[in-house]
Amino acid sequence: MSKGFLLVISGPSGCGKGTVSKALLERNEDIVFSISATTRKPRAGEEDGVNYFFIDEDKFSTMVDEGKFLEHAFVHNNYYGTPKEFVMEQIENGEIVLLEIDVQGAMQVKKNYKNVVFVFLLPPTMDELKNRIIKRGTESEEDIERRFKNAFEELDFVGEYDYFVINDKVNDAVIDIENIIKAEKLRVKRHSNIKNQVIKQGGK
Amino acid sequence: MSKGFLLVISGPSGCGKGTVSKALLERNEDIVFSISATTRKPRAGEEDGVNYFFIDEDKFSTMVDEGKFLEHAFVHNNYYGTPKEFVMEQIENGEIVLLEIDVQGAMQVKKNYKNVVFVFLLPPTMDELKNRIIKRGTESEEDIERRFKNAFEELDFVGEYDYFVINDKVNDAVIDIENIIKAEKLRVKRHSNIKNQVIKQGGK
């Protein structure tokens, strides 16, 4: 029986982790997406249990106290967290669970859990990183500069990850991550009794 | 600048490591084959510096004393060893060097070197393992039984390796190893200054 693993796709804002994760999930129906819990109100079109688990602050606070999050954070006046139980169950069942998360969140996960594969998504150039931050179009010049400065500093965290993938073309980045998944499935450490499996296949 | 690595393909006799390694090299011209040194006489068709470096016992003994082997062994009255300098140079230059070797040799390499990716090749079933040992046709029943017993015991060493690959069809095993190589090329630990590489691409 082989265990699955948590696949953390992370990187600075503007690296395209949302786009890459979405494309990866579309092409690989067997990958399970880890749904976050949040205290923020649903936006138009967002569904509870699909995009997020929408919960109130009391519930969130109780879950924090009970250690029910893999990681959690307070961002723009709202709480976000990754429910632990779902992820752990899926991994025990051999599933690969995708968690798309910022660098701070990934570092929280790294501190507390093993059996995680950390992928750092890089922009092809710093110019392109800036373009991507600008293209969101929802922010002031000051916000853009702040985000870019943060992103630049977050690149230092690449050394904490297992793999790096350069997100120049989304499709190429997805193929790189698919290769990482294929290789990680062949890791000896996640399989118990490999010898017995061979012996059982048709007998000694 | 990224370092290469030593790719050790290993497993019990009958697992097909020779066939798989040959097919892998044919399909991937960029992989460098590590040529062993041996004191055994060349067989018909074998070339010095291609199949083996054929050297005498004095030379071999001197090389052992000078620590010039990654690993060495005495098998069927002949010495075999993996010259270290060539492998190390290639790895420094970013190359992937393939070393096809038995389990004992792999364990010697593991004890002494880092920056090695260990792949254990498994037979699909124990019956198939026995068939493959028999098919060599050059050995007595007693030799076959001994080899099979050894192979069975060597399966215990799979836990010492990074990856396992089941060699049912050679082509599938080669694809698995190619995926492992692609993923290992994206390992953060073998790249220095990933951030600087991104910054240099087109400037900040």
Q: Is B84 annotated as a binding residue?
A: no
Q: Is A137 annotated as a binding residue?
A: no
User: Which structure tokens are listed for A94?
Assistant: 């051999």
Helix ranges (H only) for chain A are 17-27, 57-65, 84-92, 103-112, 126-135, 141-154, 170-185, 194-200
Query: Over 50: is that where the pLDDT of B204 sits?
Result: no
Taking only Cα atoms into account, the Rg of chain A, rounded to an integer number of angstroms, comes to 18
Q: Is A12 annotated as a binding residue?
A: yes
Cα B45 versus chain centre, distance: 22
What's the one-letter identity of residue A82? Answer: T
Burial class (CB in 10 A: 0-12, 13-18, 19+), B15: buried
Instruction: Using pLDDT thresholds of 50, 70 and 90, give the confidence band for residue A204.
Output: very low
Average pLDDT of B69-97?
A: 93
Cα–Cα distance for residue pair A146/A69, rounded to 1 Å: 28
- C-alpha separations of B101 from A29, A39, B96, B119 in Å: 38, 56, 16, 10
CB atoms inside a 10 Å sphere around CB B113 = 16
* Contact yes or no for A194 and B158 at CB 8 A: yes
What's the one-letter identity of residue B161? Answer: Y
Query: Over 70: is that where the pLDDT of B202 sits?
Result: no
Backbone angles phi, psi at B122, to 5 degrees: -110, 145
For the beta sheet containing B36-38, the strands, ordered from the edge strand earlier in sequence to the opposite edge, are: B52-54, B36-38, B78-83, B69-75
Shortest distance, CA B186 to any CA of chain A (angstroms): 5
Residue whose structure tokens are 């790895």: B91
With beta carbons less than 8 A apart as the criterion, state whether B158 and B120 touch: yes
Comparing A41-45, A91-95, A195-199, B185-189, the range with the smallest average pLDDT is: A195-199
Q: Say which residue, B165 or B201, is predicted with more confidence.
A: B165
Do the domain assignments include residue B150?
Answer: yes
Residue A67, sorted as left (phi over 0), alpha (psi -120 to 50) or beta, turns out to be: left
Tell me the CATH number at B191: 3.40.50.300
- Share the mean pLDDT of chain B: 92
Helical packing angle, A17-27 and A170-185, nearest 10°: 60
Q: Which of B78, B126, B125, B90 is nearest to B7 (CA)?
A: B90
B196 part of contact set with chain A, CB < 8 Å: no
**Domain of B18?**
5-35+94-199
Looking at the structure of chain B, the number of domains it has is: 1
A196 part of contact set with chain B, CB < 8 Å: no
- The pLDDT > 70 percentage for chain A reads 97
Do the domain assignments include residue A67?
Answer: no
* Contact yes or no for A156 and B195 at CB 8 A: yes
Contacts of residues A103-106 at CB distance under 8 Å and 24 or more positions apart, as own/partner, are A103/A10, A103/A11, A103/A12, A103/A154, A103/A157, A104/A73, A105/A10, A105/A71, A105/A73, A106/A8, A106/A10, A106/A71, A106/A157, A106/A160, A106/A161
B168 part of contact set with chain A, CB < 8 Å: no
Do the domain assignments include residue B10?
Answer: yes
Burial class (CB in 10 A: 0-12, 13-18, 19+), B114: exposed
- Share the mean pLDDT of chain A: 92
Cα B132 versus chain centre, distance: 19
Nearest 5 degrees, angle CA A52-CA A57-CA A60? Answer: 60
Do the domain assignments include residue A89?
Answer: no
Report the DSSP pairing between strands B116-122 and A69-75: unpaired
With beta carbons less than 8 A apart as the criterion, state whether B18 and B104 touch: no
Q: What is the pLDDT of residue B111?
A: 92
For residue range A182-201, list pLDDT tens digits in order.
999 999 998 888 888 888 87
Cα–Cα distance for residue pair A64/A71, rounded to 1 Å: 9
In total, the C-beta contacts within 8 angstroms joining chain A to chain B are 106
Burial class (CB in 10 A: 0-12, 13-18, 19+), B20: buried
- Interface probe with A: pick from B120, B164, B186, most Cβ of A within 10 Å: B186
Do the domain assignments include residue A191?
Answer: yes
- Interface probe with B: pick from A103, A117, A201, most Cβ of B within 10 Å: A201
Q: Say which residue, A157 or B142, is predicted with more confidence.
A: A157
Q: What is the pLDDT of residue A1?
A: 62
- The pLDDT > 90 percentage for chain B reads 73
Q: Which residues pair with A10 in a beta bridge?
A: A101, A120
Query: Over 80: is that where the pLDDT of A18 sits?
Result: yes
Residue whose structure tokens are 């600087």: B196
Average pLDDT of B78-90?
A: 94
Q: Which residues pair with A69 in a beta bridge?
A: A83
Average pLDDT of A109-116?
A: 91
B120 part of contact set with chain A, CB < 8 Å: yes
Predicted ipTM? 0.89
A111 part of contact set with chain B, CB < 8 Å: no
Q: What is the pLDDT of residue B114?
A: 86
Comparing A20-29, A54-63, B33-42, B144-153, the range with the smallest average pLDDT is: B144-153
For residue range A130-180, list pLDDT tens digits in order.
888 888 766 788 888 888 999 999 999 999 999 999 999 999 999 999 999
Do the domain assignments include residue A141?
Answer: yes
Instruction: Using pLDDT thresholds of 50, 70 and 90, give the confidence band for residue A202.
Output: low
Q: What is the pLDDT of residue B136?
A: 73
Q: What is the pLDDT of residue B141?
A: 85
- C-alpha separations of B24 from A89, A184, B18, B38, B99 in Å: 38, 20, 10, 23, 12
Which residue from B minimizes the CA distance to A153?
A: B195
